[in-house]
Amino acid sequence: MKALVKISVLSFSISMFLISGLSCTSTGLSEPVISIDNGKIELGFERSTGKLISFSDIETSYNYIDSSAVEGLPWSLNVAAGSSPLGKLPTKVSFKKPDPFTLNIKWEQADETDGIKVLASVSLDKEKALSYWNIKVEGMKEQNIQHVKFPVIAGIKDLGNEELAVSTWLGSLINNPRAGMTNAETPKTFTWNHPGHLSMQLLALYNKESNGIYFSCNDTLAYTKNFSMTFDSKNSLEYSITNIPPFNNRIDTYQPAYQAILGSFQGDWITAAKIYREWGIQQKWCRESRFKNNRTAEWLPKTALWVWNRGKSPNVLSEAIDFQERLGLPVNVFWHWWHNCSYDDYFPEYLPPREGGESFIKAVTAAQQKNVRCIVYMNSFQWGTSTDSWKAENAEPYCAKTIDGKTYEHAYNIFTNKAITPMCMATEFWQNKYASLCDSVVNVYQTNGVYMDQACMNFQCYDKSHGHDLGGGNYWVNGFGKLTSLIRSKISGKNQPILAGEGSGEDWIAYLDLFLTLETSRERYAGISNIESIPLYQAVYHDYAMTYGSYSSLVYPPYDELWPEQYSPANKEKALPEDFNAQFLMEQSRSFVWGMQPTIANYHAFLAKDRKEEIDFLIKLAKTRYNALKYLLYGEYCRTPQINSPQQEIDISKLSIYVGRTGGNVSRFKKTVPSLYTGTWKSSDGCIGIAIASISDRQIPVDFTLDTSEYNLPQEGDVYVITDNARTLLQSYGKNRTDIHFVMPSRGVCVLEFVPRQ
């Protein structure tokens, strides 16, 4: 997985800082604070300035904002680096209430002359604890405005025992996000791009014992924007959305084609996910979901396991065939380093395959005859600037450009230090180039599809010759949609090809068949921190988008044979120390209970003997999942009842393919983790399945109570235990609350199934 390379563009922010008025609250237009409420939340704005100084949950009487910490307005404007400062600034504020649930605020020139005007409209949902925020900026012409920050919600209090849930691809939970800020000299800012690394327009800050703030947006057209959280040394928090207008100084007015959403809730990230799901599944991407509409290849949902191997076919296809023979269920291949070029520096010179076309086709065809299919790696937009094709095909004019006309090139490969740079997804040049590669890979070399690396990402491009809006806009995702349509128009359906992509994102659900989500293995690439992976994306879109992927491995990382030999480590693809076996079990357990297709990285047949217990666990897990697909593939994510789990300390390895230079390619940590992993799913026919996996080498008593009314289950039914080889009756239930008691065996895997009686 590659992290998005961020290019810092210098700019300066013009924010209005005006003198505060009185802090008393009133709904009258002549009072110091003008408020609107819907019986659930109340918003209060300072009459003299338009500052947001109050955001209250009426039910709990809690005000999220410390008015004394609010220094600026709920908006700010940024001009591009090198541009002149904004001229006349709007200082006169006025308010109108067209109805009891709406407040319109206008900032205009004090002398009522021409110049920038900012108009904001804030409306409250008539039934929910949500507010909707609109902004319109007039008089922008010749001002070179690059960013419009709105809303800016400043002075957010510390809620105590805070957790911050962020929809980073699969999902992240930041525990105590203000940690370390008391004595910090400079504010700490988290920024996430959407569409891109932020898979959904959703963040949630909460204390699960009291109150929480729901931050969202309702953009259905994939306009690029940034969500930010800034923590300062005064323990204050500022939230903002950076809206990005087309960079065109002839545009006089900008109004985003979407609303920001601010709300209050009681609960946790699952509560926030359910609020978002209610909106998300009604949108176009779900209506056109390839998975939901059965437009994916027939073999894809039947995949029991993915083998993610690298190199030539004997190191990849032969190993997958071995695993399939052991598993007895469909195993397919996610294949890196099959290509002619060195990884991460000579893209897109993929063809012919490095082992030769004839050998490649023969191996792929032989594997398909044994029902092992393969999808092969090709980065979705990168081109190596040191390749012969970069010059020969005159690629530079069609790559994405920064605001100062430069490329985004970056050297991922630490062994060669050769750069690659993003091509602009909106250009026909790149769409035709990539589609032609897919044509060859599928139609000539007979693969079963393409894995499009870095697919769920988004760059701002400022090249005027490309014909799209400069900077801001929705051309990137639209271009990706055109690209996938072009690919599918070219590739033969003979081998039922699919398109998979790195990451996950609501805006790509209609375009991709499968999403690689690697957060189950966060520790392997990020180590230990206050950030934990959570299945936030699964809680919203599991039944609309198939996910797979994991760095979970029992061996040291491989090393590309086309990289410099002097950096090749001696231990490549040798078994890792047994200390890290529990980490492997943890990663596979997460994948299982989070409803993903299981994946093992760098599998080799010798592991079936040298790491027998771990491979047996994975086989048991894959078989159990296969017996419960109505939940773990097609089900809707639900809250799991309280199931107590003992904790255990395990060894954690942080490792990467880019560590061979120094020889020490593993960083070691300790982490305390649950022994039991759980996830609850509701099937389309109304049954409930609770997936449970144990990484402990001891038996664990499982005792919990399930309130059937919380899952809309009828009062009577039966409870079954689904395992890798059986489905047995555990007990019946006949009350709203049913007590479950059983013993989970050492390294056990099962799904508890609650089936209503007809």
Contact of 675 with 645, CB cutoff 8 Å: yes
Half-sphere exposure of 160 toward its Cβ, with a 13 Å CA cutoff? 4
Cβ atoms 484, 499 nearer than 8 A? yes
Token pair for residue 533?
A: 């992976």
Amino acid in position 389: S
Please give the pLDDT value at position 12.
31
Residue with tokens 């380093």: 337
Concatenated DSSP letters for 279-301? HHTTSHHHHT-TTTTT-S-TTST
Angle at 245 between CA 243 and CA 248, to 5 degrees: 155
Beta-carbon contacts of 585 under 8 Å, excluding residues fewer than 6 positions away, are: 614, 617, 695, 747
Cα→Cα distances 292→149, 289, 305, 493, Å = 36, 5, 21, 20
Give tens-digit pLDDT for 223-234: 999 999 998 877
Q: How far apart are CA 227 and CA 225, in angstroms?
A: 7
Q: Is 239 helix (H, G, I), strand (E, B) or coil?
A: strand
Instruction: Count CB neighbours of 282 within 10 A.
Output: 10
The pLDDT value recorded for residue 23 is 31
Classify 139 in phi/psi space as left (phi over 0), alpha (psi -120 to 50) or beta.
Answer: left
If one counts every other C-beta atom within 10 angstroms of the C-beta of residue 234, the result is 14
CA–CA gap between residue 314 and residue 685 (Å, rounded): 44
At 291, the amino acid letter reads F
Residues of the chain scoring pLDDT < 70:
1-30, 180-185, 659-665
> Which amino acid appears at position 621 of this protein?
L
**Nearest of 692, 657, 593, 622 to residue 302 by alpha carbon:** 622
Report pLDDT for 179: 84
pLDDT at position 182, please? 60
* Token pair belonging to 746: 């050492």
The answer to whether 207 and 160 have CB atoms below 8 angstroms apart is yes
Between CA 286 and CA 289 the distance in angstroms is 5
CB count in 10 Å sphere of residue 112? 8
Distance CA 86, CA 80 (A): 11
| Total number of residues shown for the chain | 758
Encoded tokens for 513: 């068949």
Q: Give exposure, 650-664, as e/b (b: 16+ Cβ within 10 Å).
A: bbbbbbebbbbeeee
CA separation for the pair 729, 658 (Å, rounded): 50
Dig out the tokens for 518 from the structure.
């690697």
| Residue-wise pLDDT tens digits, 617-642 | 999 999 999 999 999 999 999 999 99
> How would you classify residue 585: left for phi > 0, otherwise alpha for psi between -120 and 50, otherwise beta?
alpha
Largest Cα–Cα separation, the chain = 82
**According to the model, what pLDDT value does residue 19 have?**
27
Long-range CB contacts for residues 394-398, cutoff 8 Å, separation at least 24: 395/423, 395/429, 397/429, 397/463, 397/465, 398/423, 398/424, 398/427, 398/429, 398/430, 398/466
Match 């209609």 to its residue by tokens: 510
Gyration radius from the chain CA atoms: 27
Residue 24: per-residue pLDDT: 36
pLDDT of residue 660: 53
For residue 389, what pLDDT is reported? 98
* Domain 11-280, CATH: 2.70.98.10
Domain ranges of the chain: 11-280, 667-756
Closest CA to 416 of 560, 579, 542, 200: 560
**pLDDT score of 322:** 98
Element (H, E) at 164: strand 163-168
Distance (Å, rounded) from C-alpha 124 to C-alpha 106?
18
Look up residue 642 and give its two tokens: 């309280």
Q: DSSP states of 682-698 as a string? A: E-TTS-EEEEEEE--SS
At residue 22, the pLDDT reads 28
What pLDDT shows up at residue 31?
A: 74
**How high does pLDDT run on average in the chain?**
93
Question: For the whole model, what pTM was predicted?
Answer: 0.94
For strands 305-310 and 331-336, give the pairing.
Answer: parallel
Among 78, 110, 91, CA closest to 17: 91
Tell me the CATH class for 667-756. mainly beta
In the numeric block, the tokens 């079963």 are attached to: 448
* Amino acid at residue number 702: V
ω before 352 within 30° of 0 (cis)? yes
Residue 76's DSSP bridge partners are 149
What pLDDT shows up at residue 522?
A: 96
Q: What is the DSSP code (8-state) at residue 621? A: H
Whole-angstrom Cα distance, residue 727 to residue 573?
38
pLDDT score for 587? 98
* Number of C-beta neighbours around residue 61 at 10 A: 7
Q: 3-state SS of the chain: helix, strand, coil percent to 5?
A: 20, 35, 45
**How many Cα atoms sit within 13 Å of 606 on the Cβ side?**
8
Residue with the two structure tokens 């209430």 = 97
Residues 6 or more apart whose CB falls under 8 angstroms from that of 702 comprise: 643, 676, 692, 740, 741, 742, 743, 744
Specify whether the CB–CB gap between 228 and 242 falls below 8 A: yes
User: Which residue carries 């902004």 as its tokens?
Assistant: 135
User: CA–CA distance from 552 to each of 349, 559, 603 (Å)?
Assistant: 29, 17, 10
**Are β-strands 449-453 and 163-168 bridged in parallel, bridged antiparallel, or unpaired?**
unpaired
**Residues ≥6 apart with Cβ < 8 Å to 484:** 499, 511, 512
Closest CA to 6 of 203, 235, 242: 242
- Cα-based angle 314, 623, 607 (whole degrees, multiple of 5): 40
- Measure Cα distances from 470 to 147, 221, 252, 458, 466 in Å: 12, 17, 15, 14, 9
∠ CA(716), CA(720), CA(726), 5° rounding? 155
644 burial level (CB within 10 Å; 0-12, 13-18, 19+): exposed
Give the model's pLDDT for residue 142: 85
* 169 torsion bin: left (phi>0), alpha (psi -120 to 50), beta (else): left
Cβ(715)–Cβ(708) under 8 Å? yes
Supply the pLDDT for residue 274.
98
Which class for 649: exposed (0-12), middle (13-18), buried (19 or more C-beta within 10 A)? exposed
